Homo-oligomer: A and B are copies of this chain.
Amino acid sequence: MSNKKSAGNLNTALVILEKSIPLFAQSGYAGVSMRDISKVVGTSGAALYHHYPDKQGLYLAAMEHAFSDMALSIQSTLDIKGTPEERLVHFTTNFTDQMARSPELRILLQRELLDGDDERLKLLANLVFVKPFKVIKELARELGLDCDAHLLAISMAGLILFHFETESIRRYLPGGLKKHNDPKVIGKHVAKLLTGMLGK
């Protein structure tokens, strides 16, 4: 845990991160001003510069903080014993639950996929996704599917995440019901699709 950067009170520095994360999730980097952040934190704008070098530095620290949470929570969906089929269903339902429970992190992820530079994306990949990705690829192999493990792992994540990504527009599409936003319904649907593929 290298804390070379934070010069000030660790507590305030943390509060700044945790209060700014919802703002960045809602409005994106360019849509949030340092004054907006200082308002929700309850300090002056200048105080932010006591803890972080500039807006970019604050944003980067906020992303690291947010995504280190995400890494832990994703990891927990994969620490389980059982047959490959059981582990597949366990991952699907738990991952769906967690994405439903923390929409902020999901939205930050989407924003980073759109706007993140190479450095930030590399960090995000290593911090959050490389380990789970390896586990899922291994799982795919054990399931005996003959398609590319990388593509399959992406497909599994996409099946789940896309339902949440489209939550805002699905209510205007034919057949869109409230139950389609229920993580239980989504999780079951995805698990069914995936196990259906195995049955072949």
Q: A133-B173, A172-B126 are in contact. Are A154 and B162 (CB under 8 A)?
A: yes
**How many copies altogether?**
2
B125 touches A150 (CB 8 A): no
Chain B proximity mask over A135-154: 1 for CB below 8 Å, otherwise 0: 00100000000011111101
Q: A28-B28, A28-B30, A199-B200 are in contact. Are A176 and B158 (CB under 8 A)?
A: no
Chain A interface residue count: which class?
A: 35 or more
A121 touches B168 (CB 8 A): yes
Contacts of A115 in B (CB 8 A): 28
**Which residue of chain B is the closest to A189 with respect to CB atoms?**
B151
- Please measure, in the bound complex, the distance between the C-alpha atom of A110 and the C-alpha atom of B116, giving whole angstroms: 14
**Which residue of chain B is the closest to A175 with respect to CB atoms?**
B150
* Stretch in A14-22, A40-48, A190-198 with 4+ CB within 8 Å of B: A190-198
A159 at the binding interface (Cβ < 8 Å)? yes
Q: How far is the CB of A193 from chain B (nearest CB, A)?
A: 6
Q: A130-B174, A151-B180, A192-B147 are in contact. Are A165 and B113 (CB under 8 A)?
A: yes
Q: A114-B111, A169-B125 are in contact. Are A189 and B155 (CB under 8 A)?
A: yes
Q: How far is the CB of A158 from chain B (nearest CB, A)?
A: 3
Contacts of A110 in B (CB 8 A): 110, 114, 165
A155 touches B30 (CB 8 A): no
Interface residues of A (CB under 8 A from B): 27-28, 30-31, 107, 110-111, 113-116, 121-122, 124-126, 129-130, 133-134, 137, 147-152, 154-155, 157-159, 161-163, 165-166, 168-170, 172-177, 180, 185-186, 189-190, 192-193, 196-197, 199-200
List the 10 closest A-B pairs by CB distance, nearest first.
A158-B162, A125-B172, A150-B175, A30-B30, A30-B31, A199-B200, A151-B189, A196-B197, A121-B169, A122-B172
